[in-house]
Amino acid sequence: MRTCDTQTLECNDRKNVQRKMGYLPGQHGGDHPLARFVDNNESYGPQVMARFLRRIAPYGRVIDIGAGGGRDLGFAKACCASAELIAVEALPSQQLRAIASSVHAIDLERNCLPAEDESSDVVMANQVLEHTKEIYWIMHEMTRTLKVGGHMIIGVPNLVSFHNRCLMLFGQHATQHKLYSAHVRVFSRPDTERFFEVCWPGGYEVVEFAGSQFYPFPRSIARPLANMFPGAAFSIFWLLRKTKRYTDGFLQHPVKAELQTPFYVGG
């Protein structure tokens, strides 16, 4: 979640380091040969995040998980200047501190979010959940802090994007989910919506589903394609509304289902 100027500087710095030290596969995203044709900023869905936030404004408190440089919080502030903006970010920058009302460096997979039960109007996580194992704990915390009637915004890479379908048809691996990269979870629209319904039936309704980025096309073509075929876009986004009071449905599922992997459920 960075500004275009910051992205350009970081990209140049990265190339300089690579020239000196050599590039290690999986070290950075957006280095696939197809990436030369696309605007990498589109993968973060700036137009989608801004539209979602405009749609649900006004709001009082927003929590951004993995806030990065504060781009999405900047969108929230532009829509509602009086909102309290809470950033959760392990490596906070001065840019983020200038935008957010408060910044918290916590272990997302073990710690509670810095908010009371049902105290937030918006909780968002853009291009973060694919980096995590403890999805049940994270969803529990996001849901716990969200008011009934409040909104959750999620953005993740799409396993079944158009270019991944083409790659896998010929026995090639999905670009966003390499074993030697930082991503540890995969997402698609039907599987993600099934996850919510299985873990907490009827707890959320989908207000809007959208896509952004469409490999291997430039932005002028990618945006129309992502709008027409969101389920085939590189990144997919949900605007969800919490419909009822929550207890601990997300924490109960791995226990009741006796999943054969240890998940953190508090303690």
* Per-residue tokens: 250: 């997300």
Angle (deg, nearest 10), helices 189-199 and 249-256:
90
Q: What is the pLDDT of residues 120-145, one digit of tens each?
A: 999 999 999 999 999 999 999 999 99
Tell me the domain boundaries of the chain: 31-245
pLDDT reported for residue 211: 98
pLDDT reported for residue 22: 61
Taking residues 233-239, report their average pLDDT.
Answer: 98
**Kind and range of the H or E element at 52?**
helix 46-56
Q: Is the pLDDT of residue 13 over 60?
A: no
Q: C-alpha distances in angstroms, 180 versus 41, 233, 250?
A: 23, 23, 29
Phi-psi region of 202 (alpha: psi -120 to 50; beta: other; left: phi over 0): left
Q: What is the pLDDT of residues 20-38, one digit of tens each?
A: 546 676 666 555 666 677 8
pLDDT reported for residue 28: 61
Burial 84-97 (b: 16+ CB within 10 A, else e): bbbbbbeebbebbe
* Closest by CA position to 13, among listed 34, 28, 35, 32: 28
How far, in Å, CA of 112 to CA of 170, rounded? Answer: 43
Q: What is the pLDDT of residues 59-92, one digit of tens each?
A: 999 999 999 999 999 999 999 999 999 999 998 8
* Per-residue tokens: 202: 């009827």
Q: Is the pLDDT of residue 203 over 70?
A: yes
pLDDT reported for residue 30: 54
265 compared with 4, residue with greater pLDDT: 265
Q: What's the predicted TM-score (pTM) here?
A: 0.88
For the domain with range 31-245, which CATH number is right: 3.40.50.11820, 3.40.47.10, 3.90.420.10, 3.40.50.150? 3.40.50.150
* Per-residue tokens: 218: 């430039």
How far, in Å, CA of 11 to CA of 76, rounded? Answer: 26
Taking residues 137-165, report their average pLDDT.
Answer: 97
